[in-house]
Each structure stands twice: as C-alpha cells, then as structure tokens.
Structure 1
Amino acid sequence: MSFPGHAQKTSKKTVPTESLLMPQVPRGNYLQLQEEKQRLQLKKFLLHRVFLVAKITANTERKDIADYYERVFQSILKHHIEAAVTGFLLIYPTSILHILESSSGTLYRILLDHLDQGKNDTKFFIQGMKIIVVSHNIPTRLFTQWHVSVIKVPVMYLDDITQTQSLEGVVTEFLTQTHKLALHVAKTVKVGAKGPGDNLHQLVPELLISEQIIKYLCKSEEFMDPEAFLNMYNRPAHITLDSEVIWPAPSCF
C-alpha cells in the first residue's frame, strides 16, 4: 500500500574545485625582488664598481692613456647606450689607479679590449694590470662622469708600509684612501666640469695613494689579471652533488 505524496527532489550542489584547494599565496624569488627594486629606482641594469691598478711604460703621455679609454667607452656606447661609464683615472709616473663604474657587460668589454690590446701589441703602454676588488650591485655612483688626473711631481712618503704590513693591511690602506679620495672628488668636482685637475698632490696630498702600494699590488699574485678574471667569468657554473660521486649509485625503491 502506497501513500500518495510529492516526490522529494534531491538537489546536488557541486562544490567548486577551487574551494577545496589551499589559498594560493603569491610567491616570488630573489631575482624578481632585485628586478622590482631596480624598476622602482628607474635602473635598467645593475651597477658595479671595479678597482684596477697597472703599470705603464716609460714616457707614456697622459693623452695616450686618456684617448685609449675614451675610444673604448665610445665603442661600447654604440651598442649599450644606457651603460655609461663613470669613474676616476689617476696617472702616476710609472703606474695608474683606475676606478670604473658601469654595468657588468660594459666592464667585461673594457677588460676584454685591454686583454686584446696586450696580445696584439707587445708595446701596449698599459701592462701588469690587476683587479683589486669588484663591488657588485652598488646603490649609486660615486662619480657623475669619467675623470682623469695626473700626479705631476713625485710625492714623498715617510715610510713604505709594504715592507711593514701584511697584504691584508696594505689592501685595507689602499681601499680606505681610495674611497676617501673618490668622495673628495665627488664632492668638489661639479657636474660638467673636466675634472679635479692635475694638482691633487698640492690640494690633498694626504689622500693620495703611494705609488709604492700600486706597484706592490701589481706584483701580488693573490689578485687576478684580466685574463684570469675573464676566464672565470666565462666558465659555466657546475655544482657536483654528493650523489654523483657515490658508488654504487643510489637507487629508489
């Protein structure tokens, strides 16, 4: 015996698949963070600074050194307009101290040109170059343009610290004095000016690096020359995992 009644309709509600999933949290990586930081600062590339020392041949004219670097800079700017070079070139009687600021690609090409010049011209006037330090991703430039200054007369120093201090102490002295000199030039040279001139030995003799220190660093085997640096730069990174050197090879069950 059956009772009349209304058939009950069962409604099956489909639960969206998205609701069963965990809430998605946007994740980024360190590279994206750096790119966003550069975008906010309106930078098109990461900025780097390199400190170089080198010996120059006897009777080398200031104009020859300045013209060489200016030709290199102009050649690079034809392909990398935004990567302008700023810095400071200090020319001693037999050596140079060079600070360069630009993108990694521009600095790479400057070192590559120097290496090519040394290989193709045995009488190239810049020799024995060493890379003292490279500062990566610096927040801002120290210099508004590229300056050249000459030490016209020998500077007399009371003692030779290369004979009494360790290499670490000499490098510390070098970087400390170089940064002080760079800050002085950055503060005193106005935008658009040719540079600090050739009388730094009279204005700030206490900030000048001894040429003995530059020669000492050029001879130090602890620092890379452009060839060794570029070889390391071009070498692909490869990490050997522990599992690659274990025998027998591990197997998964």
Structure 2
Amino acid sequence: MSLSVHTRKSTKKNFPLESLLMPQVPRSNYLHFQEEKLRLQLKKFLLNRMFLVAKISANIEKKDIAEYYEELFQSILRHHLGEAVTGLLFIYPTSILHILESSSSTLYQILLDYLNHEKDEMEFFIQGMKIIVTSHNIPTRLFMQWHVSVIKVPVMYLDDVTQSQSLEEVITEFLIQTHKLALYLFKTVKVGTKGPGDNLHQVAPELLLPEQIIKYLCNSAEFMDPKTFINMYNKPIHVTLDSEVVWPATFRF
C-alpha cells in the first residue's frame, strides 16, 4: 500500500516537468494585435516615400546636384525635427529621378526649398519638378542610406515607348521598374558603402528606366508640382455642418 502511494506522489511531481518539456507554440491574441497597432500609431515620426522627377540644366555639373541635396538634408536636420533622408538620386544627362524616404516634415522642407529657389531671379538648375507618387506611413525603408548615381546611357530615340503607350501604361512601367530597382539595391548594397556608383547601367541595365520616361513624366500635366502640393498641404480642412446647409432653418441645431 505504501509503495503505491509513493508511486502516485512521484507521478504528480513529474507531471509539471513533463509539461515544461513539451514544445511551446507562440500564440497571439487580439489584445496583442491592438497593443502593436497602438505602438505603431504612437511613433514619433511616421515614414513617407516620395518619387520625384525633374529637368536639369544642360551645363550643370552632376556633383553640384549631389552636393546641393547633401547640404540641404543636413540643414533641415539641424533646424527641424524629423527623420534622416534615405533614398536614391539618378542623374540623367538632362533630368533626374529622385526617391526620398523620410518624415512628412522633412519632405515638406525639401519641396519648400525648391519653391524658394524658383522665386529667385537667377535660374535654378533644377526645373519642372513633378511629384509622381507619395506613400504615407510606410512600414519600413527600402534604402538604408542616400545614394547618388550618374546614368551615362545614351538616349535611344528608336526605343521611345512614350510615343506608343498611354500615360497609365507609362506610369505602371515606371512604378514597377523603380520598385524592382529599389529591391535589388536593398539586397545587394551593404550599409555604409557608396552604393551602386555610376556603373549601374552595366550591372543591372534591365532595371534602369530610359530617360524618355522621366522627361515624359516631367511634361505630364496630370502630375502635381511642388507648389500645388504645398498649397494643399497648408490648406485647412473645413467641416460643413448640417445646420449650415439646411434651409429654411433659422437656428443652429
């Protein structure tokens, strides 16, 4: 009898140990989901991604364009709270493609600086800028730093797809190619390196957009210029109440 009792006691003692040895499957619930959602909403700065295209003066040195943006980024971070700028600047012979990732306040200051240069009497070397697309509250960056690459591929007028495609087809190709290129650089470029350099047309020529597409988007009236974007950004939101449109009511509800 005593032996059987001892056996039962041993079994009870070993049971918790056996349960600890069982594989634990991580589980989530709706409370964890809401807490994570709240944590993301309370981030100090939300990330945004903006695609810009513009024309450049024919006699401008390519290094001057890169130095202008580098000095601009540093000045903005010194005087305004926001996220550091990452992205990619492609400098074609007569145009640029610029992908920027940062907080909305930093992107606002970049566009505002461009508008201030437009007001100067001296002609600015960046002209006809258009905002192709802006993505708000992106989950993560595609670029770990800001890269500059000079595209030296000659213009091929015989392959100008903008003559045979609609604007919808051109912009679709633009977005697909730029995202493919961004993913390629994300996988191949290491943090701290100088980036793709000026030989990207030799490393991944199939991912580069022809300059005709960049110039075509610059000339398209369907895309917003920085002045229009800034005016919409600063425009207050007015809410019209029902009492303001109901007639012939003589008092406010």
Runs of 4+ in structure 1 off by over 4 angstroms are: 32-35, 250-253
Counterpart of 1:97, as a letter, is: L
Counterpart of 1:175, as a letter, is: L
Cα offset, 1:158, TM superposition: 5.6
CA distance in 2, matches of 1:155, 1:205: 14
| Alpha-carbon spacing, 1:250–1:120, altered in 2? closer, same or farther (3 Å) | same
- Equivalent residue number for residue 179 of structure 2: 179
- Equivalent residue number for residue 59 of structure 2: 59
TM-score by length of 1: 0.80
Q: Deviations over 1:204-249 (max 9, x none)?
A: 1111111111111111111111100000000001133444223212
Report how many residues are paired. 219
Are 2:23 and 1:37 equivalent residues in the alignment?
A: no
- Equivalent residue number for residue 19 of structure 1: none
| Alpha-carbon spacing, 1:192–1:126, altered in 2? closer, same or farther (3 Å) | same
Q: Contact 2:82 / 2:105 at 8 angstroms: preserved in 1?
A: no
Alignment root-mean-square deviation, CA: 2.1
Question: Within 5 A, what are the aligned runs for 1:174-213?
Answer: 174-213=174-213
| Alpha-carbon spacing, 1:69–1:243, altered in 2? closer, same or farther (3 Å) | same
Q: Contact 2:89 / 2:147 at 8 angstroms: preserved in 1?
A: yes
Report the 3-state secondary structure (helix = DSSP H, G, I; strand = E; otherwise coil) of the residue aligned with 2:124.
coil
Q: Contact 1:181 / 1:208 at 8 angstroms: preserved in 2?
A: yes
Q: Contact 2:53 / 2:95 at 8 angstroms: preserved in 1?
A: yes
| Alpha-carbon spacing, 1:143–1:128, altered in 2? closer, same or farther (3 Å) | same
Counterpart of 1:66, as a letter, is: A
Cα offset, 1:95, TM superposition: 0.2
Unaligned runs of 5+ in 1: 1-31
Cα offset, 1:142, TM superposition: 0.4
Report the 3-state secondary structure (helix = DSSP H, G, I; strand = E; otherwise coil) of the residue aligned with 1:228.
helix
Cα offset, 1:159, TM superposition: 2.7
Cα offset, 1:38, TM superposition: 4.6
CA distance in 2, matches of 1:191, 1:216: 33
Counterpart of 1:166, as a letter, is: S
Q: Contact 1:243 / 1:250 at 8 angstroms: preserved in 2?
A: no
Report which stretch shifted further, 176-185 or 124-133: 176-185
| Alpha-carbon spacing, 1:34–1:227, altered in 2? closer, same or farther (3 Å) | farther
Question: Within 5 A, what are the aligned runs for 1:34-113?
Answer: 35-38=38-41, 43-80=43-80, 83-113=83-113
CA distance in 2, matches of 1:56, 1:212: 14
CA distance in 1, matches of 2:175, 2:185: 15
CA distance in 1, matches of 2:132, 2:211: 15
Q: Deviations over 1:82-115 (max 9, x none)?
A: 5100000000000000000000000000000011
Q: State the identity %.
A: 74
CA distance in 2, matches of 1:34, 1:237: 26
Unaligned runs of 5+ in 2: 1-34
TM-score by length of 2: 0.80
- Equivalent residue number for residue 130 of structure 1: 130
Structure ID, larger Rg:
1
Q: Contact 1:130 / 1:225 at 8 angstroms: preserved in 2?
A: yes
Report the 3-state secondary structure (helix = DSSP H, G, I; strand = E; otherwise coil) of the residue aligned with 1:120.
coil
Report the 3-state secondary structure (helix = DSSP H, G, I; strand = E; otherwise coil) of the residue aligned with 1:68.
helix
